[in-house]
Amino acid sequence: MEKYICVKELEDAASALLPKTARDYYRSGATDEYTLAENKRAFQRLRIRPKCLVGINKCDLGITVLGANITMPVGISPTAMQKMAHPDGELATARAAQAEGVIYTLSTISTSSIEEIAQAAPHATKWFQLYIYRDREVTRNLVLRAEKAGFKAIALTIDTPLFGLRRADVHNKFTLPNHLRLANFEGLLSTKINSTENGSGLNNYVNNLFDKTITWNDIRWIKSITNLPIIAKGVLRADDAVRAIEAGCSAILVSNHGARQLDGVPATIEALPEVVEAVKNYNVDVYLDGGVSTGTDVYKALALGAKMVFVGRPALWGLAVGGEAGVRRMLQIFRTELDYTFQIAGTPTVADITRDMVRHEALYSKL
């Protein structure tokens, strides 16, 4: 795995290995994929402003997140159906997160179950990503199982009344391969995704089973059935961030679902400052995902107020290339790049990274 020295190399290698349907599912964004590209381009428009002669001996990348000690401010986002990338799927990703001391988030529509993940990585800091189903007992059962299995938070996805139009999935008539199932369910809920009567089997699944009518009151309902902290995942607006907190959320995850929901929305790094400003008087964390592929991306998000960032596709690339070892390599790449950035920028700890460490390129174009 040491031959891979950046996430792009892992992505290229994974793209060569993955079957077309799985590769297109993992890589694609909504409609014209403008926001998919902007998620990365927006990071490139930010400039780091290093401090010189700070006298750094070594850097400490560690942070505390919702009471858990984490070795660096990079965690793994929920991504669905990981056994399409590697036979060990989510089990390998969770083990890698445990070995590297970072947060692992399990998707509701995973190919390994809550209980299997708990057994595979008992010492990992694990979060569970939740969709709200029309059948509230299905939703309640998922939450209670996650809590019983030792997961430490519920990452509630709030930007998905239905899944966005992903043209690649429609063209490919995407379904889960027949030898796999959605492991958190039994019966029809585990196999309904294989229906492709209207194109994408995934879209059929979501349209039939996810609840489009959810409101902020449903966060209050989830809070009433669990003691776990709730993270609002999918926030792009200041007012929604405040509503999420008022409904009982303990943290905000600025996310556009990997640009897979609605094309033309802001890149997440563009939306981050507005959300950070809106919640500055509340005792909540703000996280970010979307477009993060280098250690400098992580650094820029920290400078703009994120407590930490999460990566989804990079984990899939590592998983496809080398299973657990590949995911660990991906995390090690981020750790190395982030450590170099900390040292060269003159900020030995996360607390030293202040807003003035980053400026938009427009500031320099005026000179």
Q: Which residues form the catalytic set?
A: 257
Helix H segments across 149-254?
A: 167-172, 188-191, 201-209, 216-225, 238-246
- Degrees, nearest 5: CA angle 339-344-347: 70
User: Tokens 């008992």 sit at which residue?
Assistant: 122
Q: 19 CB contacts (<8 Å, ≥6 apart)?
A: 84
Provide CB contacts within 8 A for 46, sequence distance 6+: 269, 300, 304, 358, 359, 360, 361
For 127, residues 6+ apart whose C-beta sits below 8 A from its C-beta are 78, 103, 104, 105, 106, 151, 152, 153, 154, 155, 231
- Pairwise CA distance, residues 71 & 65, whole Å: 10
Collect contacts of 268-274 with beta carbons under 8 A, ≥24 apart.
268/39, 268/42, 268/236, 269/39, 269/42, 269/43, 269/46, 269/297, 269/300, 269/301, 269/304, 270/38, 270/42, 271/235, 271/236, 271/237, 272/301, 272/304, 272/305, 272/306, 273/304, 273/305, 274/237, 274/238
Cα–Cα distance for residue pair 63/167, rounded to 1 Å = 39
